[in-house]
Structure 1
Amino acid sequence: MTTRKPGPRPVAVDPVGSAVRPYGGRPGGRPAAFFDLDKTIIAKSSALAFSRPFYAGGLLNRRSVLRSTYAQFVFLIGGADHDQMEKMREFLSRMVTGWHVDTVREIVADTLHNIVDPLVYDEAVSLIEEHHFAGRDVIIVSASGAEMVEPIGELLGADDVIASQLSIEDGRYTGGIDFYAYAENKAVAIEELAQRRGYDLARSYAYSDSITDVHMLEAIGHPHAVNPDKELRRIAKDNGWPVLVFSRPVALGARMRLPEHRGTLAALAAGTAVVVGGAIYLGARRRLERVLAG
């Protein structure tokens, strides 16, 4: 699978702005379905889900694993607004600087089933199947790096992915970002892909959980809020967008034939169910800045 990379765009983006744009793509063309990845298809941040395999592969030290685990915890209980996403981006950029790209791809391939399989929402898989049955292409759109998003897209049977492109020199990550698939940049990349592939965005479908994806949702004729954060829920209500609740993880192997990948490692850790009160959540959000800042 080849990530669709739009032309050069600045990393800095307007987080939520939003006069509704006219629908792009090719009027009268075929519809497609665009899915955000984190907390829409899978229950975690894809960028942080691989922290333990990266530790096992020698890319991370124990302190970095703990920091990424804590960031994941905050992401799960409250989502991430623009400021938190920017801090996450800076943290992850620092974390991967100097890593060999081929090593990352190897670890992702070896651990993909163990890491992603338990995290995928049954409801999302059903929607993907329904769109394919209706003849619509399915595109995953994620701010995570292409080296993670492409294999996940292949695992799920997506027809294409739009993902962030990290800067690489001499086979290593530099810490820079050539294209950040986030906020308005997602909508721009979708419109460029729609022109190339002949999609009519007015007839297409979009799914996301986050207010930071409001540009993407507004760019498409049939937007849906999935497990929405507070701000996106408000916008969905104001605009009459359907609100979907995804809550059932599924074992993909029991539902669909999975593509062949290289051998997997043993499962790395069991998840722990945590009941979190409002006070714990607020305290966690305040501490996240210190955790990501190191």
Structure 2
Amino acid sequence: MTQIALFDLDHTLLPIDSDHEWGRFLAKIGVVDSDYYALQNERFYADYKAGRLDIYAFLEFALKPLSEHSRAQLNEWHLQFMKEVIQPQLKPSAFDLVKRHQDAGDLCCVVTATNSFVTRPIVAAFQIDHLIATEPEVIGDPMTGNFSGKVLGLPNFKEGKVTRLEAWLKDQGLSLSAVQGSYFYSDSINDLPLLEKASHPVATNPDARLREHAVKNQWPILELFA
């Protein structure tokens, strides 16, 4: 039977939040109104950490800059983002965790609320083949078309992660009940719905509320960047 290993991305495999950092990067290079965008970016980030994020309001904000530029231009900026922001934050301890599961033959997948445009190259850097992310709507060809600024389907957030994972597993001919074991590594109380579905939930670099929940329920706590 197959065993699956699921990883959140931000503050789990990365010690930073890629969504938040992408917003800061756009403000830094002058792609957006720096003062306004930075203020709103921090407000949404605070709401996320507090567990009260309005995901649709955030996505309207976060996906708008993608719709205002060509895919070629966005890809160029993302290469710069990877070099300047992400690559310095790729830590050996995170690679080692992923490799342990890969060496065991586990089916590995990143399950993140951050949109796939931002996260796909990051996940590729970890040599993980599978990604379930919030999907920005694309006009035309999925790989080369421009973004509409809207979200496609259900955001991969909170309970949405469970729904999206179950649909992905069905496409693989699997289900959570049919696998040998399921690991899910996450830092965030926002991921509690999926953590509670996993047979092996691991609170990884957990926020205060997830740490409290993990201790209460005797879940393992992993400090990946300690």
More strand by share: 2
Task: Find 1:111's aligned residue among 73, 81, 84.
Answer: 81
**Any idea what SS the aligned residue of 1:41 has?**
coil
Corresponding position: 1:226 with 2:201:
no
For the 8 Å contact 2:44–2:53, the answer to whether it is kept is no
1:234: how far off? 2.8
How far apart, in 2, do the equivalents of 1:111 and 1:74 lie? 22
Q: Aligned in 2, Cα 1:187/1:73: closer, same or farther, shift over 3 Å?
A: closer
1:91: how far off? 3.1
Task: Find 2:119's aligned residue among 149, 153, 171.
Answer: 149
For the 8 Å contact 1:137–1:158, the answer to whether it is kept is no
Q: Structure 1: which 5+ residue stretches go unaligned? A: 1-28, 249-294
**Any idea what SS the aligned residue of 1:83 has?**
coil
User: 1:237-268 deviations in whole A, cap 9, x for unaligned?
Assistant: 232211111225xxxxxxxxxxxxxxxxxxxx
- Determine the structure 1 residue equivalent to 2:184: 206
1:117: how far off? 1.7
Q: Aligned in 2, Cα 1:131/1:198: closer, same or farther, shift over 3 Å?
A: farther
Q: Aligned in 2, Cα 1:234/1:131: closer, same or farther, shift over 3 Å?
A: same
User: 1:32-66 deviations in whole A, cap 9, x for unaligned?
Assistant: 21000111111222112234553566532322553
How far apart, in 2, do the equivalents of 1:188 and 1:70 lie? 28
Corresponding position: 1:161 with 2:131:
yes
Q: Aligned in 2, Cα 1:156/1:68: closer, same or farther, shift over 3 Å?
A: farther
Q: TM-score under structure 2 normalisation?
A: 0.81
How far apart, in 1, do the equivalents of 2:190 and 2:180 lie? 21
How far apart, in 1, do the equivalents of 2:179 and 2:57 lie? 31
**Any idea what SS the aligned residue of 1:166 has?**
strand
Q: Which deviates more, 92-101 or 158-167?
A: 92-101
1:161: how far off? 0.5
Corresponding position: 1:173 with 2:151:
no
For the 8 Å contact 1:46–1:144, the answer to whether it is kept is yes
For the 8 Å contact 1:105–1:148, the answer to whether it is kept is no
How far apart, in 2, do the equivalents of 1:43 and 1:88 lie? 21
User: 1:47-103 deviations in whole A, cap 9, x for unaligned?
Assistant: 12234553566532322553367459858xx93413365654343244444333332
| Identity level (%) | 25
How far apart, in 2, do the equivalents of 1:31 and 1:188 lie? 19
- Determine the structure 2 residue equivalent to 1:235: 213
Q: Aligned in 2, Cα 1:93/1:148: closer, same or farther, shift over 3 Å?
A: closer
Alignment: residue pair count? 218
For residues 32-181 of structure 1, the aligned pairs below 5 Å read: 32-51=4-23, 53-55=25-27, 59-64=31-36, 66-67=38-39, 70=42, 74=46, 79-83=49-53, 88-169=58-139, 171-179=145-153, 180-181=155-156
Structure with bigger RCO (C-alpha 8 Å, 6+ apart)? 1
1:201: how far off? 4.3
How far apart, in 1, do the equivalents of 2:215 and 2:208 lie? 11
Aligned Cα RMSD in Å? 2.8
Q: Structure 2: which 5+ residue stretches go unaligned? A: none
Q: Aligned in 2, Cα 1:127/1:45: closer, same or farther, shift over 3 Å?
A: same
**Any idea what SS the aligned residue of 1:44 has?**
coil
For the 8 Å contact 1:40–1:227, the answer to whether it is kept is yes
